[in-house]
Amino acid sequence: MKFKDIRYERIPMEKFETEFKAVLNEMENADTFGKFDAAFINIYKKRDSFDTMFQLANIRYCTNTRNETYLKEVGHLDEIMPRFEDLVNQFYIVLNQSKFKGEISKKWGKHILDIAKFSVNGFDPIILNELKEHNKLCTEYSKLKDKAEIDFNGEKLNLGSIGKYLLDNDRKVREKASRAQWKFFADHQEEFDDLFDRMVKVRHKMALKMGHENFVALGYQWMQRFDYTEEMVADFRKWVVEIIVPIAQKLRQKQKKRLGYEHLEYYDLNFHFLSGNPKPKGTAEDTIAQANQMYKELSPETGELFRYLQEYDLLDLVSRQGKEDGGFCWAFSDYKHPFIFANFNGTLDDVRVLTHEAGHAFQYFESRHYDIIEHRNPTSETAEIHAMSMELLTYPWMEGFFREDTEKYFYSHLNSTLLFIPYGCAIDHFQHIIYQNPDFTPNQRAEAWKEMEALYLPDRKMDMAPYLNSGRVWQSIMHIYQRPFYCIDYVLAQICAFQFWQKSKNNEKEAWADYLRLCKAGGTKPFLELVELANLKPPFDKETLRNVTKEIEKHLEKIDDSTF
């Protein structure tokens, strides 16, 4: 069924709860594994139907934030989602208490039992009201950013479409666009401050009710971090400061020399060459056509994926007024459809975001046959390996997008991915500080961010505008508001993705076989076990971090960036 033809139906929550609990009762009272298993499968059908309507309403809202119908539905779902989460938690409790654990493990794998055991510690009905408030606040953040109507050179732009001017060859245009962008945030600074303050406090309240000292432990449980700890992440960040921050500083010095600037202003950070950043040649339609050809040639499986996405209208890629900014890949469980959302604006990010989200879509496509949603949807640090690796494994086809600027794209992309690692760590460290100090004022949070910039991003010059200098640039980062502790997952995944790229340079066939095996495994194992399955070294190894990043640094040093 094509995306436009999927019918949305509001979930009648009272009826849904009654039916769900009736099936749970069948599971609890089953006297044979056959009866238990039939009810188990029925539960997953109900979870899939709920998930499908939830994703459908949210995606249709994202594609047109001015659609009042779906705005109301998103609000309705914010209300009922905690009740659904309570039902899932009750299901996990039944699994934990089941007398059929041996049979469950044999048929469905041990990991689902581990998920059930882990998840019940992250939820309790006593936080239902706070969860409703939490969901509303997350939606409020999206609505606040969707307000952006930036007047620029006679155009009305949103936060997605202004991106092309932020990378313009003319430094004055970049500065003007950057000032216009940050003026929107400055004009709404008090709203962003207040919204985040309410988010921190409601998360802290939930953590206290759940018996935690603060939200950090609860946040880790929500992210389902089975096999690594807060202490392991803290060690990883220290190694990044020791190993990668000096490399990042060298790259910034090279960028400054390349551009011939005395110093890099904030609006220069993502502009890499005086001749201009590489851009995909042609129109958005040309980019999509080239992607289609690329995925046909990459493998039979990727070719089938991209054909499927186009046939069922599961791509919404071009930026427009009224569309939410950003990019994502979500899925409709009932139809086993992945859906890619992006905001093409004529910059190199069109290709980067498309390949990234196609990595997510490919993993889902390869594991869509699993009956249970946890096996189709791995935890986020694993999912980001699929996405970031796809960005790198498609390098041999970049000439089709960038033509004479292909080498420039390689340099720009590798450079940016390496520079992102300290940035992602700064976000993660910042969030740990914020949730360990929930009574911080907005200005204290801003000062904490400045400390993170000094530690992880020492070359940043933020005095372009009072808003940036105030230490609030993080307010533009969706994950800080809506997905706490997610950003470190990108960083951990990037270390794994770099390993896939290194393998592919030596043996493309072997690298692809390992990647395909990882995608097919979906979420059947926890993060570090999946890393091992893919023949990768875990990112929580200092020498792995050192070796991988040194290899990237050497590769960048071999490229004569002065020719760009």
- Read off the pLDDT of residues 406-420 as tens digits, 9 standing for 90 and up: 999 999 999 999 999
In this model, does residue 403 exceed pLDDT 90? Answer: yes
Mean pLDDT value across residues 360-377: 97
Q: How many domains does the chain have?
A: 4
491 and 544 part of one domain: yes
β-bridge pairing 328-332 and 337-344: antiparallel
CA of residue 343 relative to chain centroid, distance:
15
Q: Is the pLDDT reported for residue 436 higher than 90?
A: yes
pLDDT tens by residue, 47-86: 999 999 999 999 999 999 999 999 999 999 999 999 999 9
| Residue recorded with tokens 């155009």 | 155
Question: What average pLDDT score do residues 119-148 get?
Answer: 94
Strand partners, 150: 157
**DSSP tag of 348:** T
Residues 206, 255, single domain; the answer is no
pLDDT for the residue 282: 95
Same domain, 523 and 418: yes
Strand partners, 316: 341
Nearest to 253 by CA among 406, 405, 415: 415
Q: Which of 83, 62, 177, 212 is nearest to 135 (CA)?
A: 83
Report the C-alpha gap between 363 and 358 in whole angstroms: 9
Q: Residues of 379-395 as b/e, b for ≥16 C-beta within 10 angstroms?
A: bbbbbbbbbbbbbbbbb
The four Cα atoms 502, 503, 504, 508 give a dihedral, to 10 degrees, of 170
Residue 325 scores a pLDDT above 90? no
| pLDDT in the model for residue 147 | 87
* Whether residue 464 has pLDDT greater than 90: no
Bridge partners, residue 85, by sequence? none
In this structure, is residue 28 part of a structural domain?
A: yes
What does the buried/exposed string (b/e) look like for 101-124 if buried means 16 or more CB atoms within 10 Å of the residue's CB?
eeebeeebbebbbbbbeebbebbe
**Statement to judge: residues 420 and 532 lie in one domain:** yes
Does 354 reside within a domain? no
Please name the helix (run of DSSP H) or strand (run of DSSP E) that holds residue 186, with its range, or none.
helix 171-187
Q: What are phi and psi of 38, to 5 degrees?
A: -65, -40
Q: Is residue 559 part of a domain?
A: yes
The count of C-alpha atoms lying within 13 angstroms of the C-alpha of 519, restricted to the half-sphere facing its C-beta, is 25
211 token code pair: 């018996």
What's the token pair of residue 111?
Answer: 């990991």
Task: For residues 355-362, give the mean pLDDT.
Answer: 98
Task: Show contacts of 250-256: CB within 8 Å, 24+ apart.
Answer: 250/553, 251/415, 251/418, 251/419, 251/556, 252/419, 252/459, 254/561, 255/415
* Residue 365, in any domain of the structure: no
Domain-located, residue 387: no
Scored b (16 or more CB within 10 A) or e, 268-295 reads bbbbbbeeebbbbeeebeebbebbeebb
Is the pLDDT confidence value at 431 over 90?
yes
Query: Same domain for 118 and 38?
Result: yes
Q: Which of 304, 305, 387, 307 is nearest to 352 (CA)?
A: 387
CA 371, 372, 373, 374: dihedral to nearest 10 degrees?
A: -140
DSSP percent split of the chain into helix, strand, coil, nearest 5? 70, 5, 25
CATH code for the domain in which residue 508 is found = 1.10.1370.30
Structure tokens at 247: 């490399």
473, 429: one domain: yes
Q: Is the pLDDT of residue 515 over 90?
A: yes
What's the mean pLDDT in 268-287? 96
Is 159 domain-assigned? Answer: yes
Domain edge (last residue) among 67, 89, 123? 123
**Banded model confidence at residue 212, pLDDT cuts 50, 70, 90:** very high
Q: Token pair of 468, please?
A: 């940036």
Average pLDDT of the residues of the chain: 96
Do 415 and 436 fall into the same domain? yes
CA dihedral 515, 520, 526, 529 (to 10 degrees): -50
pLDDT digits (tens, 9 = 90+) for 251-264: 999 999 999 999 99
In a domain, 134, yes or no: yes
Q: 297: pLDDT confidence band, cut at 50, 70 and 90?
A: very high
Between 406-436 and 189-209, two packed helices, what is the crossing angle to 10 degrees? 60
Report the Cα 345 to chain-centroid distance in Å: 20
Element (H, E) at 331: strand 328-332
- DSSP label at residue 6: P
100/548 Cα distance (integer angstroms): 44
Statement: residue 321 has pLDDT above 90: no
Is residue 425 within 8 Å of 237, Cβ to Cβ? yes
Residues 538 and 465 in one domain: yes
Residue span of the structural domain in which 546 resides? 212-281+405-564
Residue range 292-299: average pLDDT? 98
On whether both 516 and 541 belong to a single domain, the answer is yes
Q: Is residue 47 part of a domain?
A: yes
Average pLDDT estimate for 333-361: 96
**What's the average model confidence in pLDDT over 256-283?**
95
Together in a domain, 91 and 139: no
Full-model pTM: 0.95
Residue 485's region, left for phi above 0, alpha for psi from -120 to 50, else beta, is left
In terms of domains, do 412 and 516 share one? yes
Same structural domain, 94 and 229: no
Distance CA 434, CA 204 (A): 10
Percent of the chain with pLDDT over 70: 100
Residues 243-270, mean pLDDT to the nearest whole number: 95
**Which of 245, 564, 244, 288 is CA-nearest to residue 412?**
564
Residue 32 to residues 27, 36, 37, 101, 411: CA-CA distances in angstroms?
A: 10, 6, 9, 12, 60
Mean pLDDT computed over 363-384: 97
